[in-house]
Structure 1
Amino acid sequence: AFLITTYYTVVMAWTLRYMVAATTIEWGMGAAGAEGAGDFFFGTVLGLSGGPGEIGAPLPALLIGLAVVWGIILLVVHKGTAVIGPVSQVVMIVAWTFLGILVVRGVTLIGAAQGLNFYLETDWSKLASGDVWFAAFSQIAFTLSLGMAGMFAYGSFIKSRGDVNNNALITGFGNCATSFLAGFAVFSIVGFLMQSLSIGVEEVASKSVGLAFITWPVAVSMLPAANAFFGVIFFLCLFLLGLSSAYFLAYGGVISPLMDKFGWSRGKTAVGVCVIGFLIGILFTTNGGLYWGPDILDRAVAFYGLLITGALTCLVVGWVFPASRLREYVNGTSDFHIGPWFDVMVKVVIPAALLFVVVYGGFMQDIPNSYSGYPRWASNAIWGVLIATLVFSFIMGKMKTRGRGD
């Protein structure tokens, strides 16, 4: 959780930079914006170097944005769940409102139907692709904060007789519903660009960060009216959604577990985690930061790390705890009950599926081909980070627990 937060906050710093840029459509209007959005992102915003071996220096705008993000996180997590709960409610209501505005604007644009057809049309043949399963498992693990202690920490604050099954369903459904709704905002814009630029969806729907920081700015520059307004709204929405995830990761995945483990006070733990997170994040504000943060480190911890941790968690809970005991407990607190199928899923199906995807990603993709075409030493860094993270987690688990500080 901590490593993910260190580069996740840098991506949020990008959104702050784009919020400022959107006020004047800094990347250009109309055709100029369509041609210049990529150069603006990689050149002006990131100052991207030629590869992971060229780290360079921190970019002042991103460094300031990173400090602002960590400062906000510190203000929120310093007071614990008493503040996190109310803040989350306000942030999510505002974010959903902005998301609704973007959806309404998107679906009313010319060509939106093309993008939505691509979004909603099912291609069953893709289920035979290991790449699809690899991306799907890692994505849902990340968005639900599975395998990174956050859910365990927040679950500990539920009342002893709280409805566990209902809370779990609401969390999963709310997450997926938000993602599904966001898809309408994104792919309606994709369709608009397909119509406006007379190009195919493959040329518009960029992968990874390109969709948010290149495709959307292009669309904003070509809107018939209120370009700056919708540009600011989009990146503010991204920032708010990212903020809710960031302080969740920082508190639930790092600060709360450290308090429980070592008995440290909330204030000192929060300051220490935020300062260290900021210092590590400086690396990702450099010219080579994109390679090391949202790419190499993300591949190590958010892909392989989360899936391996999830599989190990299922094996321990399923066979050692065991799963039947857990099922009996949660059924005793809930209005609706889960059946014996839960035991089979936790003990066999889920860990087998996760480990298969990990093996596929490693032995079929990254090991033989070198990840993303990087030099072999950079690709090997993925495995170094992954092994170091797992070893560190094991050592932390073996250390004596002193109890909660406050």
Structure 2
Amino acid sequence: MKREQWGSRTGFILAAVGSAVGLGNIWRFPYMAYENGGGAFFIPYLFAMLTAGIPFMILEFTLGQKYRAGAPGTLRRLNARFEWLGWFQVMICAVIAFYYVVVIAWAISYAWFALDQRWGDDSNAFFFGDFLGLGDNSPSNLGGLQWHLLLPLVIAWTASFFATYRGVKGGIEKINKVLMPLLFLLVLVLIGRIIMLPGALSGINWMFAPDFSKIWDLKVWSAAYGQIFFTLSVGFAIMLSYASYLPEKSDINNNAFMTVLMNCGFSMLAGIMIFGALGYMAQAQDKALTEVVSSGVGLAFVTLPTAINLLPAPGIMGPMFFLALVFAGISSHISIAEAVTTGLMGKTGWSRQKTATLFCGTGFVVSLLFITQGGLLLLDLVDHFINNMALLGSCLLELFLVGWLCKLSDYQKRANELSEFSIGIWWQLCIKFLSIAMLAVILFNNIVGAFKENYGGYSDNEILFIGWGMIAVMLVVAIVINASSKQEVKA
């Protein structure tokens, strides 16, 4: 059966950008820039983009386009002993899909709540109490389901199911051709209104004001590289899967540059939007910006609802902000679901329709764990270990495999033959040395930190069985699948 292909170059780039542009661009990047030297942070960030982000993206586009398979199939072609790494990457995607969709469900709910600011004057108590029902719960004591989250969860999963069921051209490409322009338009409209508010420019200045003393801090450079690896969807099956549907003559280098630059450009726009709103909020409440700034879930669902209460026309600007979150989340979740679907199709030989139905159906059931009263805590713990251990380890192993156990120059030659402009020896140096070195430093620091202190104050058993135990199970399952593949080949 002939493999599917993207309908157009624009469709592929929008889908790749849609995968890379996610919730982290909106609620993680602005805070990281602010915390790590403001305008000075953009020097290590841009350096990381050029030496890690773009080279890694070129590598994955080249591998996916050449081998025409998901992560397990591609890594098997590189080295039969490393198929397990492909399955480990697929399982990273599956786990992320299970909990990431819940945050999209929250955003869908809040887009509705924003019409009349249903969170009231105390957005903190509303989010953690009324909305999530978080009480004396823990990751190992989840409590009951929050039934009001069931419908938004169904809506979020339905979007990903429709896209993966219909395929890359009829589903994923069509949806991203609508979602991505709408997302950029929403953010630009919000920026246009927010920067006119008193205090907004002061907030933006807080984010961009450079503290050049921090450039010499290794932690700032680690943060810059970490953000690049987190945000670009490289190293865990997604871009390999997307690139496997590229036509035979596709401009690899140009596509990679455009994808990375558009993603990083969106991060900058998100920073202007967020810090403009926080600057206005700080002035309206007569507080210092340092008292209102935050990151992550707290920024999106506690701090910004408070800011929305103060905005002119909150019933318009509030829903627009949360719709932007929904669009960013769904475009990323579709790519995560597609990475799993592509990997499973290659292994089982099932049709796309059967694979998408089984994965999304199973995923919906597993996601119910995260809409319980303790679901937020389980999500927090699982996300920490997936992002800071499993994902970074996966990136490091993939770069080592291709950079040191394969002939990297062959992939450089292939990318150059297909592209309008060529990449030089710098690309090989970035893959073989710089990216690997930075990933090793970040991962080592994360592992040492994990053993020094329990993340989030969770109990030893929760850290051991839910955190490390989850990664161990994923590794064992990946190795068993790899072993079964070898037996099939021998038979």
| Amino acid aligned to 1:374 | Y
In the aligned structure 1, how far is the partner of 2:213 from the partner of 2:476?
A: 39
Deviates more, 1:266-275 or 1:140-149: 140-149
Which string of whole-angstrom CA distances, capped at 9 and with x for unpartnered residues, describes residues 261-284 of structure 1? Answer: 221110110011101111111111
In the aligned structure 1, how far is the partner of 2:216 from the partner of 2:369?
A: 38
Question: Aligned residue for 1:303?
Answer: 388
CA contact (8 A) 2:388 2:446 kept: no
1:200 to 282, 288, 294: 288
Which string of whole-angstrom CA distances, capped at 9 and with x for unpartnered residues, describes residues 224-251 of structure 1? Answer: x311111111111110111111111101
Map 1:19-30 → 2, pairs under 5 A = 19-28=111-120
CA contact (8 A) 1:138 1:303 kept: no
Aligned residues: 393
| Amino acid aligned to 2:432 | K
Question: Aligned residue for 1:13?
Answer: 105
Distance 1:190 1:242, change over 3 A: same
2:366 to 239, 255, 280: 280
**CA positional deviation for 1:302:** 1.9
CA contact (8 A) 1:116 1:191 kept: yes
Which 4+ runs in 1 deviate beyond 6 A? none
Question: Aligned residue for 1:246?
Answer: 333
Question: Aligned residue for 1:2?
Answer: 94
Question: Aligned residue for 2:299?
Answer: 211
Which string of whole-angstrom CA distances, capped at 9 and with x for unpartnered residues, describes residues 264-311 of structure 1? Answer: 110110011101111111111011111111x11111112221111111
CA contact (8 A) 1:49 1:55 kept: no
Distance 1:208 1:127, change over 3 A: farther
Which string of whole-angstrom CA distances, capped at 9 and with x for unpartnered residues, describes residues 33-82 of structure 1? Answer: 2xx01111111111113333431111011122111111121112101112
In the aligned structure 2, how far is the partner of 1:247 from the partner of 1:53?
A: 29
Q: Say whether 1:146 aligns with 2:234.
A: yes
Question: Aligned residue for 2:250?
Answer: 162
CA contact (8 A) 1:88 1:244 kept: yes
In the aligned structure 1, how far is the partner of 2:480 from the partner of 2:409?
A: 29
Question: Aligned residue for 1:112?
Answer: 200
Question: Aligned residue for 2:127?
Answer: 41
| Amino acid aligned to 2:467 | I
In the aligned structure 2, how far is the partner of 1:134 from the partner of 1:305?
A: 17
- 3-state SS in 1 of match to 2:485: coil
**CA positional deviation for 1:319:** 1.6
Question: Aligned residue for 2:191?
Answer: 103
TM-score, normalised by the number of residues in structure 1: 0.92
Distance 1:46 1:181, change over 3 A: same
Deviates more, 1:276-285 or 1:390-399: 390-399
Q: Say whether 1:369 aligns with 2:453.
A: yes
In the aligned structure 1, how far is the partner of 2:264 from the partner of 2:151?
A: 32
CA contact (8 A) 1:370 1:376 kept: yes
| Amino acid aligned to 2:375 | G
| Amino acid aligned to 2:300 | A
**CA positional deviation for 1:131:** 5.1
Distance 1:52 1:136, change over 3 A: farther
Map 1:16-95 → 2, pairs under 5 A = 16-28=108-120, 33=121, 36-50=122-136, 51-82=138-169, 83-95=171-183
In the aligned structure 1, how far is the partner of 2:482 from the partner of 2:309?
A: 51
In the aligned structure 2, how far is the partner of 1:130 from the partner of 1:361?
A: 14
Deviates more, 1:4-13 or 1:72-81: 72-81
Distance 1:377 1:131, change over 3 A: farther
Q: Say whether 1:347 aligns with 2:347.
A: no
Distance 1:260 1:338, change over 3 A: same
**CA positional deviation for 1:128:** 5.2
1:235 to 308, 316, 322: 322
**CA positional deviation for 1:385:** 1.8
Q: Say whether 1:255 aligns with 2:341.
A: yes
TM-score, normalised by the number of residues in structure 2: 0.77
**CA positional deviation for 1:165:** 0.5
In the aligned structure 2, how far is the partner of 1:141 from the partner of 1:122?
A: 23
Distance 1:38 1:132, change over 3 A: farther
Question: Which consecutive unaligned segments of at least 5 residues does structure 2 have?
Answer: 1-92
Q: Say whether 1:327 aligns with 2:412.
A: yes
